[in-house]
Homo-oligomer: A and B are copies of this chain.
Amino acid sequence: MSESDRIADKFTQWQGAGFDATRCPVRDVLDHLGDKWTTLIVIALAAGPRRFNEIDRLIPDISKRMLTQTLRNLERDGFVTRHVFPTKPPSVSYRLAPLGHSLLGPLAALIDWAEARHGEIAQARTRYDRAEGSSEAA
């Protein structure tokens, strides 16, 4: 119960102080995790540094375009660092910066939760859709 109270309190405080949606840290972070590839890339880098095409192979259905773009954003926000080795052909490696690494804890909590509750969610969804279906015309 105190967990929900803590969150509720935070929310109330945000309400009080202007609540610049643009400056809201939560929005800021969630927008990030919300996009299609960020989280997967962070996870892919959890084990250690990887090269561009390595990541590309680890995440089969990502395009180079989105891989580059997402890595750039992660770099911009200080989550990953980019190292260029001027070999021939060039080789670039990405690794989690301390900031990115520090995200792994909270992220792991969320992943564990997701895995634990995924079945429940799927059930709820089926139940809801079944109820909807029966009350609607085909």
Contacts and interface: CB of A to CB of B under 8 A. Distances in A.
Contacts of A29: 110, 113-114, 118, 121
Contacts of A30: 33-34, 39, 114
Contact of A77 (B47, B102, B121): B121
21 contacts: A4-B46, A4-B47, A4-B96, A4-B104, A5-B46, A6-B108, A8-B43, A11-B43, A11-B44, A26-B43, A26-B111, A29-B114, A29-B118, A33-B33, A34-B35, A78-B123, A78-B127, A102-B117, A106-B109, A109-B109, A110-B110
Interface of A: 3-8, 10-12, 15, 19, 21, 25-26, 28-31, 33-35, 39-40, 43-44, 46-48, 58, 60-61, 75-78, 96, 99, 101-115, 117-118, 120-121, 123-125, 127-129
A127 B12 CA distance: 32
Contacts of A11: 43-44, 46-47, 58
B78 A114 contact: no
A121 B46 contact: no
What DSSP secondary structure best describes chain A's contact surface? helix
Given A113-B102, A114-B29, A128-B76, A7 B121 contact: no
A58 B26 contact: no
